[in-house]
Amino acid sequence: MLVSLKWLKDYVNLQELPAQELAEKITRSGIEVDAVIDRSFGMTNVVVGYVEACEKHPEADKLSICQVNVGEETTQIICGAPNIAAGQKVIVARPGAKLPGGIKIKKAKLRGQESNGMICSLQELGIEGKLVPKAYAEGIYVLPEEAEIGTDVVTNFDLDDTVLELGLTPNRADAMSMLGVAYEVGAILDEEVLLPEITYSEAAEKADSLLTVRVDDPEVNPLYVAKVVRNIKVQESPMWLQQRLMAAGVRPHNNVVDVTNYILMEYGQPLHAFDYDLLGTGNITVRHAKEGEKITTLDDAERTLSAHNLVITNGEKPVALAGVMGGANSEVSGSTTTVVIESAYFDSGSIRQTSKDHGLRSDASSRYEKGVDPNRVIPAAERAAALLAELADGEVLAGSVVFDALDRAEKVVSVSPDFINQRLGMKIRFEDMLDILNRLKFKTEAANGQLVISVPTRRQDIQIEEDVVEEIARLYGYDEIPATLPEMETKPGGLTPYQEKRRVVRSLLEGAGLLQATTYSLTSEKSAQQFALTETETTKLLMPMSEERSTLRQSLLPHLLESVSYNTARRSDSVALYETGSVFLKTEDELLNEEEHLAIAMTGLWLDNSWQGERKEADFFVLKGIVESLSEKLGVELAFERGQMDGLHPGRTAFIMNDGKRIGILGQLHPTEQKVRDLKTTIVMELNLAELLHKNSEPLVYTPVPRYPSISRDIALVLSKIVEAGTVVNVIRNAGGKLLKDVRVFDLYEGDKMEAGKKSVAFSLTYFDPEKTLTDEEVTAVHEKVLRALMEVGAELRS
């Protein structure tokens, strides 16, 4: 909402406050002022001129040489506007003038001709092009004849004005009108509000002799008022009206349309003017549209209607989309002589729906949607009649044609002062509360210690006691509220075990050298299922903004890999990222199964200590090591099984298993996938973190520090290449029994000293008995058993 302070002064005394100060007061008490706009933009030396003569420039087709009387003198100005003509009153920026945007006007020569100033368009005075009346949109603005030559344009045409741009919250529909803002400012400044005076003389003939009104559904249209104004002269509105509309962000058209818009801004009540003769019948019927019925609205769009759209008809065909936009078939034009002014109350839900159906929002619909003041419908119609009589020489027919089933009673809210103070934690005196309610012009009675408040219908946001609490508090001042802390039973706060473990996981991963990433949950349908651990259908948005963000992810990896590619494309060759976040899986239920996953992706160097010659590429085992330390930290057993997944290297992929259940995947990207993503060797991992974090941790009980020494024996085996170390470890463990405390792989050799198809793997075995020092014989006995078991499965000792 744009509020011209010059206009606002018509209704409320602004106490000569500087605009910034007023804006601050309004902001602090409830409506945020987003901007304070000086309409003059510091303009100087811009005056009314009279074009005494105008001829074509001999050397430039598009330029005219004008002799302009600017009061003090008649001077030559070159003008490029197509609509310049002798006999016009125009806006002249004199040499030395300052215009918006820091433009300074100087004497100049244009194609050899002297030019002493500039004849201006409204755009050059800082008015937005879309607000300039169509007739002047492409050229200079022509002032009315009565404009006085040589006088200052800024002061004469109300450009010495300041506009407050209000950022309205949806509850403050009342402030979508000048009167509403006047009430708000009146309450803040403790000033009275002056309503517009409505006086006009009526013709003898009655409006209902020309017009009937029928409403089919009083539920959605409980009040319809029509006035008929005859013999009107459709013309340009006077300057003051045009300026006020432009200040409010509305483009002037002609006096009839401008009057309806002016009252929309003044009262917040949408009006519509029909050309009576184009209506064709003298009957207005408000009804639901027929399914498939069509109307062409004022914006020249043909719209196909459905039954829940409310239309105004002439008894036969629609002439307006009720509360949203008029129809082209009954539009007021230069040849209109009789108009019907409609002022109505429509149900907000119905208008919202229609506006949404047709993607059509207008100044009218945006007010109806939020609810207009039922007590302004009739005054607005009267005010329109008065202004049309004044500005269009119209003859107002007697009375109105009315359908009225609207309850206009004021809502009564009772609230006790104690309740107000208790909610606020304050001690506001009763008199101060009364004073605030009076300033708001809320009729208030004090009965049995209660405040009984009749809330004016313009404030439909005040419904319950708490709403009154807010009104009192905001005008009393939020700065007055003391700062206390809740008094309640003290309970320890904290994280749930799940949340605490999540933090443990994060700190472990960060300690291991990974950076935490965050990516989007929405992805393309194509990549939604890539790397998914569970196969389910995709979940798509009804109305995505783009295909790229249309579907919920089922794996974190596609976006995490995008982040890796983003980095390598920017020369960060070594990247190690992790992310925890939800993946979204369809279930039988309405809601999705949101599974918290952990994903890791790494590429490039894992370790780089160049001057000591230590370099380690990120590989499968680097990431496996991280997963293993995670398993130890959480105290959950994780096993690795050879696996396969699209997009991963078939020989370098493992499923991560827990309790026999597949809960994750670890592997190197398939070369093809790497190429598609423009990546070098990249290792990825994703697992179902929720599954791990939901497990109860075992209590930690200490194992006595060994009192007896342990004994190590190493074995180097020659194995077939296809035999996995894990298998061998299992054989050793089984044979070693309880004296075997640990088995570690400490060497792997696959070089050319080995027979083809063979490799050498060395294991270090640790024997230990918690009860005593093992003798050499005891160890040898078990060790021999281990060796025999290994021979049985085909392993050979390496000589």
Partner 1 sequence: MEEQLQGLKTEALEKIASAANVKELNDVRVAYLGKKGPITDLLKGMGKLPAEERPKMGALVNVVREDVTASLEERMVILEEAAINEKLQSETIDITLPGRPVKTGNPHPLTRVVEEIEDLFISMGYEIAEGPEVEKDYYNFEALNLPKGHPARDMQDSFYITEDILLRTHTSPVQARTMEAKGGEPIKIICPGKVYRRDNDDATHSHQFTQIEGLVIGEDIRMSDLKGTLSVFAKKMFGEDREIRLRPSFFPFTEPSVEMDISCFKCGGTGCNVCKKTGWIEILGAGMVHPNVLEMAGYDSKRLTGFAFGMGPERIAMLKYGVEDIRHFYTNDVRFLSQFQRTEV
The yes or no reply on residue 680 touching partner 1 (CB under 8 A) is no
In the complex, minimum distance from the CB of residue 575 to partner 1, in angstroms, rounded to a whole number: 6
Q: What is the DSSP letter of 117?
A: S
Closest distance to partner 1 from the beta carbon of 36 (Å): 12
Residue among 148 and 573 whose Cβ is closer to partner 1: 573
All residues at 6 or more sequence positions from 475 whose CB lies less than 8 Å from its CB, including other chains: 29, 187, 188, 436, 439, 440
Question: Is residue 474 near partner 1 by the rule CB under 8 A?
Answer: yes
Task: Kindly tell me which of 267 and 606 has the beta carbon lying closer to partner 1.
Answer: 606
Q: What phi, psi does 155 have (nearest 5°)? A: -80, -35
Sole binder of partner 1 in the list 74, 454, 536, 582 (CB under 8 A):
582
* Residue 171 engages partner 1 in binding (rule: CB under 8 A): yes
Considering the complex, what minimum distance in angstroms separates the CB of residue 153 from partner 1?
31
592 forms part of the interface with partner 1 (CB under 8 A): yes
Contact yes or no for 225/372 (Cβ under 8 A)? no
Tell me whether residue 611 or residue 702 sits nearer to partner 1 (CB atom). 611
CA atoms within 13 A on the CB side of 374: 18
- Does residue 588 belong to the site contacting partner 1 (CB under 8 A)? no
User: And the tokens for 96?
Assistant: 């030395």
Residue written as token pair 């539009």:
331
Interaction between residue 483 and partner 1 (CB under 8 A): yes
Distance CA 134, CA 123 (A): 12
Of positions 570, 738, 753, 772, contacts partner 1 by CB under 8 A? 570
Q: Which is nearer to partner 1, 289 or 517 (CB)?
A: 517
Which of 576, 683, 786, 790 is the binder for partner 1 (CB under 8 A)?
A: 576
Residue from 15, 56, 393, 566 touching partner 1 (CB under 8 A): that is: 566
Specify which residues 617 forms β-bridges with.
605
The residue type found at 90 is: V
373 touches partner 1 (CB under 8 A): no
In angstroms, what is the minimal distance from the CB of 518 to partner 1? 5
169 contributes a contact to partner 1 by CB under 8 A: yes
- Decide if residue 577 touches partner 1 (CB under 8 A): yes
Q: Does 613 bind partner 1 (CB under 8 A)?
A: no
Site for partner 1 in 493-512 (CB under 8 A): 493-496, 499, 503, 506, 509-512
CB of 373 to partner 1, least distance (A): 16
Among the residue ranges 41-49, 79-87, 581-589, 698-706, the one whose residues contact partner 1 (CB under 8 A): 581-589
CB of 520 to partner 1, least distance (A): 5
Instruction: Provide the CA 150 distance to its chain's centre, in angstroms.
Output: 49
Exposure string of 764-797, with b = 16+ CB inside 10 Å and e = fewer, is ebebbbeeeebeeeebeebbeebbebbeeeebee
How near is the Cβ of 700 to partner 1 at its closest, in Å?
A: 23
- Residues numbered 418 to 457 that lie near partner 1 (CB under 8 A) are 422-426
Contact 632, 600 (CB under 8 A): no
Please tell me whether residue 606 binds partner 1 under the rule CB under 8 A: yes
User: Taking CB under 8 A as the criterion, which residues in 454-473 touch partner 1?
Assistant: 464, 466-467, 469-470, 473
State yes or no: residue 186 binds partner 1 (CB under 8 A). Answer: no
Shortest separation between residue 425's beta carbon and partner 1, angstroms: 3
Angstrom distance (rounded) from CA 684 to CA 668 = 6
Containing 562, the helix (H) or strand (E) segment is helix 557-569
530 vs 640: CA distance, rounded Å = 21
35 counts as binding partner 1 under rule CB under 8 A = no
CA distance 224 to 323: 11
Looking at the Cβ atoms of 226 and 602, the one nearer to partner 1 is: 602
Is residue 349 a contact point for partner 1 (CB under 8 A)? yes
Q: Give the nearer residue to partner 1 in terms of CB position, either 31 or 70.
A: 31
Cβ of 131: how many Cβ atoms within 10 Å?
Answer: 18
Query: For 192, how many CA atoms within 13 A lie in the half-sphere containing its CB?
Result: 2
Looking only at residues 520 through 559 of this chain, which bind partner 1 when binding is defined by CB under 8 A? 520-522, 539-545, 549, 552
Q: Is 288 in the site for partner 1 (CB under 8 A)?
A: no
Residue (of 401, 403, 404) closest to 279 by Cα position: 401
Does 54 interact with partner 1 (rule: CB under 8 A)?
no
Q: Alpha-carbon distance 418 to 429, whole Å? A: 10
Residue 369 near residue 267 (C-beta atoms within 8 A): no
Q: Is residue 587 near partner 1 by the rule CB under 8 A?
A: no
Residue of the chain from 517, 684, 687, 740 that contacts partner 1 (CB under 8 A):
517
Select the span of 290-298, 484-492, 647-655, 680-688 touching partner 1 (CB under 8 A): 484-492
Per CB under 8 A, contacts with partner 1 among 626-665 are none
Residues numbered 206-225 forming contacts with partner 1, rule: CB under 8 A:
none
Q: Is residue 516 near partner 1 by the rule CB under 8 A?
A: yes
Q: Which is nearer to partner 1, 157 or 606 (CB)?
A: 606
Which of 150, 142, 42, 18 is CA-nearest to residue 101? 42
**How far lies 329's CA from each of 297, 302, 337, 439, in Å?**
8, 11, 16, 47
* Minimum distance from residue 702 beta carbon to partner 1 (Å): 29
Q: Choose between 609 and 697: whose C-beta lies nearer to partner 1.
A: 609
Rounded Cα distance, 662 and 647, in Å: 18
Q: Does 621 bind partner 1 (CB under 8 A)?
A: no
| 467 within 8 A of 461, measured Cβ to Cβ | yes
Amino acid (1-letter code) at residue 139: G
Count of residues that bind partner 1 according to CB under 8 A: 95
Output the DSSP codes for 316-338: SSEEEETTTEEBGGG---TT---
The answer to whether residues 151 and 47 touch, using CB atoms and an 8 Å cutoff, is yes
| DSSP letters spanning 269-300 | --EEEEEHHHH-SSEEEEEEPPTT-EEEBTTS
The rounded distance, in Å, linking the Cα atoms of 328 and 295 is 8
